[in-house]
Amino acid sequence: MKLFVGLGNPGAEYAFNRHNVGFMAADAIAATHGFPAWRKRFQGVASEGKFGREQVMLLKPQTYMNESGRSVGEAVRFYKLDLDDVVVFHDELDLVPGKVRVKAGGGVAGHNGLRSITAHIGNDYVRVRIGIGHPGSRELVKNWVLHDFVKSDRDWLEPLLGAVAKAAPDLAEGGNDKFQSFVAHAMHMEAEAADELPVPAPRGRRDSPSSESEKPTIPEGPFGKLRRWFGA
């Protein structure tokens, strides 16, 4: 059994905060791999499925970020999990938007969700650090993480969540480096594709697009609520 934990705050007012990108990753994994509906468990909501022969539980603590360890600790004790079976998806200020890094153990870097988990289960669990960028000043951090992504973030957020979801089976199998490489490659290809998009021709030119279908389009996101929020 693997426990995949997405960190965030419960409630509609927090749903698209930068701090909630861990919840978004868990939702993307559940939707992409056809996991069943979320149900209340371990002071959170959980959904359980399989990647090949590996059983995986997705967990979104509903205790608010600062008390995430209460929920995670219950699940770890119930299933008697080793810490290398626990994978936590969380926002990371020290990575630029769209970058992902995976590591086992290490410091909590001021992240209150990680601090709570470490206090309840120990420190040697796996972290999937999802870059949200830094506002530039320590005084601005709280406002930054507790405000929504802006619509221009869609350019990297949707493909990133899609890549994280697609590569999630590698994490379940212990292939942390393989997962990280896949996501990095997917984002590199996305950036290259964006650079190669044709510049729209001025009106009246014969080579301008003749229909909406010929214009560059944004691919379908990994789960509906994110796409609806972005207004597509």
Split at pLDDT 50, 70, 90, the class of 39 is very high
CATH number for 2-193+210-229 (one of 1.10.3470.10, 3.40.50.1470, 3.40.630.40, 3.30.499.10): it is: 3.40.50.1470
Ranges of each domain in the chain: 2-193+210-229
Residue 211 in contact with residue 131, Cβ under 8 Å? no
pLDDT for 59 equals 98
d(CA 75, CA 47): 12
Q: In the predicted model, is pLDDT for residue 137 greater than 60? A: yes
Q: What is the pTM of this model?
A: 0.85
| Residues designated catalytic | 19
pLDDT for 218 equals 35
pLDDT tens, position by position, 99-111 = 999 999 888 777 9
- Kindly give the pairing relationship between strand 126-131 and strand 86-92: parallel
